[in-house]
Copies of this chain bind each other. A is one copy, B any other.
Amino acid sequence: MSGVLHLVGTGPGDPDLLTLKAARIISRADILAYPVGSETSLARAIAAPHIRPGTEEMPIVIPMRRERGPAQAVYDGAAEAIAAELGMGLSVAYLCEGDPLFYGSAMYLLDRLGDRYPVKIVPGVTSLTAAAAAIARPLAARNDVLKVLPAPLPDAMLAAELAPAGSVAIIKLGSHFDRVRDLLVALGLAEGAMVVIHASTGHEKVLPLLAMPAGERPYFAIILVYKGGEGWTGGHG
Protein backbone atom coordinates (compact mmCIF):
# COMPACT_ATOMS: atom_id res chain seq x y z
CA MET A 1 0.00 0.00 0.00
CA SER A 2 1.57 3.26 -1.09
CA GLY A 3 1.07 6.45 0.88
CA VAL A 4 -1.01 9.40 -0.23
CA LEU A 5 0.45 12.64 -1.56
CA HIS A 6 -1.58 15.62 -0.40
CA LEU A 7 -1.11 18.86 -2.30
CA VAL A 8 -2.14 21.37 0.33
CA GLY A 9 -2.98 25.03 -0.23
CA THR A 10 -1.99 27.06 2.81
CA GLY A 11 -3.78 30.26 1.78
CA PRO A 12 -2.49 33.75 1.03
CA GLY A 13 -0.36 34.37 4.10
CA ASP A 14 -2.47 34.94 7.21
CA PRO A 15 -2.02 31.70 9.21
CA ASP A 16 -5.67 32.02 10.21
CA LEU A 17 -6.72 31.64 6.58
CA LEU A 18 -5.57 28.03 6.59
CA THR A 19 -8.51 25.66 6.21
CA LEU A 20 -9.47 23.16 8.90
CA LYS A 21 -8.68 20.39 6.42
CA ALA A 22 -5.21 21.70 5.68
CA ALA A 23 -4.46 22.07 9.39
CA ARG A 24 -5.50 18.47 10.04
CA ILE A 25 -3.52 17.03 7.14
CA ILE A 26 -0.43 19.00 8.14
CA SER A 27 -0.71 17.75 11.71
CA ARG A 28 -0.98 14.12 10.61
CA ALA A 29 1.43 13.89 7.67
CA ASP A 30 4.48 11.66 7.95
CA ILE A 31 6.53 14.01 5.78
CA LEU A 32 6.09 17.69 5.01
CA ALA A 33 7.54 18.95 1.74
CA TYR A 34 7.52 22.59 0.64
CA PRO A 35 9.25 24.86 -1.84
CA VAL A 36 11.86 27.27 -0.53
CA GLY A 37 12.64 30.42 -2.49
CA SER A 38 15.54 32.58 -1.42
CA GLU A 39 15.71 31.67 2.25
CA THR A 40 12.37 31.01 3.82
CA SER A 41 9.19 29.17 2.96
CA LEU A 42 6.01 31.18 3.46
CA ALA A 43 3.93 28.00 3.17
CA ARG A 44 5.95 26.36 5.96
CA ALA A 45 5.62 29.46 8.15
CA ILE A 46 1.83 29.42 7.73
CA ALA A 47 1.70 25.72 8.60
CA ALA A 48 4.09 25.97 11.57
CA PRO A 49 1.53 25.99 14.43
CA HIS A 50 0.12 22.67 13.19
CA ILE A 51 3.33 20.72 12.63
CA ARG A 52 3.82 17.80 15.05
CA PRO A 53 7.21 17.96 16.76
CA GLY A 54 9.51 15.47 15.08
CA THR A 55 7.71 15.49 11.72
CA GLU A 56 10.17 14.81 8.93
CA GLU A 57 10.60 17.81 6.62
CA MET A 58 11.69 17.97 3.01
CA PRO A 59 12.47 21.54 1.93
CA ILE A 60 12.73 21.81 -1.85
CA VAL A 61 15.07 24.61 -2.81
CA ILE A 62 13.88 26.16 -6.07
CA PRO A 63 16.48 28.08 -8.08
CA MET A 64 15.08 31.54 -8.86
CA ARG A 65 16.04 31.90 -12.52
CA ARG A 66 14.29 32.92 -15.67
CA GLU A 67 15.06 29.65 -17.49
CA ARG A 68 12.89 26.69 -16.59
CA GLY A 69 15.51 23.98 -16.83
CA PRO A 70 17.14 24.28 -13.40
CA ALA A 71 13.84 24.43 -11.50
CA GLN A 72 12.41 21.51 -13.47
CA ALA A 73 15.48 19.42 -12.63
CA VAL A 74 14.87 20.19 -8.95
CA TYR A 75 11.24 19.04 -9.28
CA ASP A 76 12.47 15.83 -10.96
CA GLY A 77 14.62 15.11 -7.94
CA ALA A 78 11.94 16.13 -5.45
CA ALA A 79 9.37 13.91 -7.16
CA GLU A 80 11.68 10.91 -6.86
CA ALA A 81 12.40 11.65 -3.20
CA ILE A 82 8.67 11.93 -2.50
CA ALA A 83 7.97 8.78 -4.54
CA ALA A 84 10.41 6.87 -2.33
CA GLU A 85 8.47 7.90 0.80
CA LEU A 86 5.09 7.14 -0.78
CA GLY A 87 6.41 3.75 -1.89
CA MET A 88 7.17 2.92 1.74
CA GLY A 89 3.56 3.68 2.65
CA LEU A 90 4.27 7.06 4.21
CA SER A 91 2.03 10.07 3.61
CA VAL A 92 3.48 13.27 2.24
CA ALA A 93 1.93 16.74 2.41
CA TYR A 94 3.30 19.20 -0.10
CA LEU A 95 2.56 22.73 1.12
CA CYS A 96 2.02 25.62 -1.23
CA GLU A 97 0.93 29.20 -0.72
CA GLY A 98 -2.54 30.05 -1.90
CA ASP A 99 -4.20 27.25 -3.82
CA PRO A 100 -2.18 24.32 -5.22
CA LEU A 101 -3.73 24.53 -8.70
CA PHE A 102 -3.88 28.31 -9.05
CA TYR A 103 -0.53 29.21 -10.65
CA GLY A 104 1.12 26.94 -8.10
CA SER A 105 4.20 24.74 -8.17
CA ALA A 106 2.11 21.74 -7.09
CA MET A 107 1.36 20.98 -10.75
CA TYR A 108 4.99 19.98 -11.25
CA LEU A 109 4.54 17.21 -8.71
CA LEU A 110 1.06 16.33 -9.95
CA ASP A 111 2.51 16.00 -13.43
CA ARG A 112 5.31 13.69 -12.26
CA LEU A 113 3.47 11.62 -9.66
CA GLY A 114 -0.26 11.81 -10.44
CA ASP A 115 -0.31 8.70 -12.58
CA ARG A 116 1.76 6.62 -10.17
CA TYR A 117 0.46 7.41 -6.69
CA PRO A 118 -2.80 8.50 -5.04
CA VAL A 119 -2.86 12.30 -5.00
CA LYS A 120 -5.39 14.37 -3.07
CA ILE A 121 -5.73 18.11 -3.45
CA VAL A 122 -6.75 20.52 -0.71
CA PRO A 123 -7.81 23.84 -2.23
CA GLY A 124 -6.87 27.02 -0.42
CA VAL A 125 -7.76 30.70 -0.28
CA THR A 126 -5.97 32.51 -3.11
CA SER A 127 -4.15 35.85 -2.95
CA LEU A 128 -6.72 37.00 -5.50
CA THR A 129 -9.69 37.03 -3.16
CA ALA A 130 -7.46 38.10 -0.26
CA ALA A 131 -6.50 41.16 -2.32
CA ALA A 132 -10.16 41.96 -2.94
CA ALA A 133 -10.80 41.62 0.80
CA ALA A 134 -7.93 44.02 1.50
CA ILE A 135 -9.50 46.78 -0.59
CA ALA A 136 -13.06 45.82 0.41
CA ARG A 137 -14.26 45.87 -3.17
CA PRO A 138 -15.89 42.98 -5.05
CA LEU A 139 -13.45 41.06 -7.20
CA ALA A 140 -16.30 40.33 -9.59
CA ALA A 141 -20.04 40.64 -9.33
CA ARG A 142 -23.19 39.58 -11.14
CA ASN A 143 -22.28 38.91 -14.78
CA ASP A 144 -18.83 40.50 -14.74
CA VAL A 145 -16.10 38.78 -16.68
CA LEU A 146 -13.13 38.23 -14.37
CA LYS A 147 -9.63 37.86 -15.82
CA VAL A 148 -6.33 36.97 -14.24
CA LEU A 149 -3.42 38.19 -16.35
CA PRO A 150 0.20 37.26 -15.63
CA ALA A 151 2.35 40.39 -16.04
CA PRO A 152 5.10 38.66 -18.09
CA LEU A 153 2.70 38.44 -21.07
CA PRO A 154 3.53 40.84 -23.90
CA ASP A 155 1.92 44.30 -23.92
CA ALA A 156 -0.21 43.57 -26.98
CA MET A 157 -1.76 40.51 -25.33
CA LEU A 158 -2.37 42.34 -22.06
CA ALA A 159 -3.92 45.28 -23.93
CA ALA A 160 -6.23 43.00 -25.89
CA GLU A 161 -7.43 41.30 -22.72
CA LEU A 162 -7.86 44.64 -20.95
CA ALA A 163 -10.05 46.09 -23.72
CA PRO A 164 -13.50 44.67 -22.83
CA ALA A 165 -15.38 45.64 -19.66
CA GLY A 166 -14.98 43.57 -16.54
CA SER A 167 -12.67 42.97 -13.64
CA VAL A 168 -8.97 42.26 -14.08
CA ALA A 169 -6.28 41.10 -11.68
CA ILE A 170 -2.66 41.35 -12.81
CA ILE A 171 -0.28 38.98 -11.03
CA LYS A 172 3.43 38.02 -11.13
CA LEU A 173 4.44 41.66 -11.35
CA GLY A 174 8.03 41.83 -10.02
CA SER A 175 10.29 43.34 -12.65
CA HIS A 176 7.27 43.87 -14.92
CA PHE A 177 5.71 46.40 -12.57
CA ASP A 178 6.78 49.61 -14.34
CA ARG A 179 5.92 48.24 -17.76
CA VAL A 180 2.44 47.19 -16.64
CA ARG A 181 1.83 50.54 -14.92
CA ASP A 182 2.86 52.39 -18.09
CA LEU A 183 0.53 50.20 -20.14
CA LEU A 184 -2.40 50.86 -17.80
CA VAL A 185 -1.69 54.60 -17.94
CA ALA A 186 -1.57 54.48 -21.76
CA LEU A 187 -4.88 52.60 -21.85
CA GLY A 188 -6.54 55.07 -19.47
CA LEU A 189 -7.01 52.35 -16.84
CA ALA A 190 -4.56 53.48 -14.16
CA GLU A 191 -7.04 55.75 -12.41
CA GLY A 192 -8.93 53.66 -9.87
CA ALA A 193 -6.56 50.70 -10.17
CA MET A 194 -5.37 49.45 -6.78
CA VAL A 195 -2.18 47.69 -5.74
CA VAL A 196 -2.31 45.12 -2.96
CA ILE A 197 1.01 43.85 -1.63
CA HIS A 198 1.33 40.79 0.64
CA ALA A 199 -2.44 40.48 0.97
CA SER A 200 -3.67 39.19 4.36
CA THR A 201 -0.22 39.21 6.01
CA GLY A 202 1.26 41.54 8.61
CA HIS A 203 3.05 43.29 5.75
CA GLU A 204 -0.14 43.96 3.82
CA LYS A 205 -0.06 47.27 1.96
CA VAL A 206 -2.84 48.76 -0.13
CA LEU A 207 -2.49 51.83 -2.33
CA PRO A 208 -3.73 53.35 -5.55
CA LEU A 209 -1.55 52.37 -8.50
CA LEU A 210 -0.78 56.02 -9.24
CA ALA A 211 0.45 56.54 -5.66
CA MET A 212 2.96 53.68 -5.88
CA PRO A 213 6.50 55.01 -5.36
CA ALA A 214 8.63 54.76 -8.52
CA GLY A 215 11.21 51.99 -8.41
CA GLU A 216 9.29 49.70 -6.03
CA ARG A 217 8.92 46.32 -7.67
CA PRO A 218 7.06 44.10 -5.24
CA TYR A 219 6.72 40.50 -6.36
CA PHE A 220 3.89 39.57 -4.00
CA ALA A 221 1.68 42.27 -5.44
CA ILE A 222 -1.55 42.24 -7.40
CA ILE A 223 -3.00 45.10 -9.40
CA LEU A 224 -6.79 45.14 -9.45
CA VAL A 225 -8.48 46.99 -12.29
CA TYR A 226 -12.22 47.39 -12.40
CA LYS A 227 -13.69 48.45 -15.73
CA GLY A 228 -17.32 48.81 -14.85
CA GLY A 229 -19.65 46.42 -16.53
CA GLU A 230 -22.84 45.59 -14.71
CA GLY A 231 -21.36 44.64 -11.37
CA TRP A 232 -20.36 46.85 -8.50
CA THR A 233 -22.17 50.14 -8.12
CA GLY A 234 -21.13 51.05 -4.59
CA GLY A 235 -18.95 54.02 -3.79
CA HIS A 236 -17.25 52.29 -0.88
CA GLY A 237 -13.65 51.11 -0.78
Contacts and interface: CB of A to CB of B under 8 A. Distances in A.
Interface of A: 9, 11-12, 14-21, 23-24, 99-104, 107, 110-111, 114-115, 119, 121-126, 129-130, 132-133, 136-150, 152-153, 157, 160-161, 164, 172, 200, 232-237
21 contacts: A14-B21, A16-B19, A16-B24, A17-B123, A101-B129, A102-B129, A102-B132, A102-B138, A102-B140, A103-B141, A107-B141, A107-B234, A114-B136, A115-B236, A122-B133, A123-B125, A123-B129, A123-B130, A125-B125, A140-B148, A145-B161
B233 A111 contact: yes
A145 B148 contact: yes
A16 B28 CA distance: 15
A235 B180 CA distance: 34
Contacts of A130: 123
Most chain B CB inside 10 Å of its own CB: which residue of A107, A123, A136, A157: A123
5 closest residue pairs by CB, A with B: A111-B234, A114-B236, A16-B21, A121-B133, A146-B148
A102 B146 CA distance: 9
Contact of A12 (B123, B143, B152, B200): B123
A129 B150 CA distance: 17
A19 B19 CA distance: 4
B145 A107 contact: no
A100 B136 CA distance: 10
Contact of A139 (B21, B101, B122, B235): B101
Contacts of A200: 123
Most chain B CB inside 10 Å of its own CB: which residue of A17, A107, A121: A107
A152 B234 CA distance: 22
Nearest to A121: B133
B115 A124 contact: no
Contacts of A99: 125, 129, 132, 139
A126 B93 CA distance: 21
Contacts of A9: 125, 129
Nearest to A232: B107
